[in-house]
Amino acid sequence: MKKTILLVAIAIIGFGASSNAQEYWNFGVKGGANLTNMTSDGFENNKSRTGFHLGVLAEIPVSDKFSVQPEVLYSTQGTEDEGSNFKDEYRLDYIQVPVIAKIYLVDGLALEAGPSFNFLVNEEYNFESNFVDLTDKSEYASTFEFGGALGLSYKFNNGFFLSGRYTQGFTDAFDSDSFDDDAIKNNGFQLGVGVQF
């Protein structure tokens, strides 16, 4: 099922290469900073982790005020904690496939919202203290996460755009057999820039 969703998303973007679609579709690239965290009842002192996202998109106009925008992004997420003599960081990297509905409120300014299908590609735990430095390729996280995104974007006449989104994981970030019943979910902000061609 997960592979099917990914293949469908790639096919949607790839379909725009046809001569008819290319006249109407706007392709682009985007990237920017992530400020992410992981929340649960068991996480009390963790802090946001700074990461990045980078990828491609295709905006498909449906009407003058409404577009659909599938994207494929590489996104680094996770959380961290820091004390007087230690710092630990938990990193989760995903291939995100958001399918965003864009409603243009005024010329250039759009409200964005939609689901996101996230595929885990890397998981790493780092611990640093005065006595030891440890890096571990852990395998606790779920390989797939279903989430959503909500935000705003502004596109200039030359195709350059700015975007800001809040992202939220709806499913547990960890496999249920690795942790107890306390659900741990990803969330955070993506602030990006990009250009459409």
Mean per-residue pLDDT, 108-128: 94
Give me the pLDDT at residue 68, please: 97
Residue 17's pLDDT band (boundaries 50, 70, 90)?
very low
**pTM for the whole structure:** 0.83
Across the range 173-189, mean pLDDT stands at: 78
Tally of domains within the chain: 1
- Provide the pLDDT confidence category of residue 165 given band limits of 50, 70 and 90: very high
Kindly report, residue by residue over 78-102, the tens digit of the pLDDT.
Answer: 988 877 677 888 899 999 999 999 9
Instruction: Inform me whether the pLDDT recorded for 104 exceeds 50.
Output: yes
pLDDT value of residue 94? 98
Give 14's DSSP letter: H
Q: What pLDDT does residue 184 have?
A: 86
Residue 190: what pLDDT?
Answer: 98
163: CB partners within 8 A, 6+ apart: 30, 32, 112, 151, 152, 153, 154, 190, 191, 192, 193, 194
Question: Any idea which of 17-26, 83-92, 141-150, 181-190 has the lowest mean pLDDT?
Answer: 17-26
The yes-or-no verdict on residue 180 having pLDDT over 70 is no
Q: Which is higher by pLDDT, 92 or 2?
A: 92
Output the pLDDT for position 88. 83
Q: Show the domain range for 149.
A: 2-196
> For the chain, how far is it from start to end, CA to CA, in angstroms?
32
Residue 135 belongs to domain with CATH number? 2.40.160.20
What was the pLDDT predicted at 22? Answer: 47
Cα pseudo-dihedral 131, 137, 139, 142, rounded to 10: 110
Percent of the chain at pLDDT > 70 equals: 81
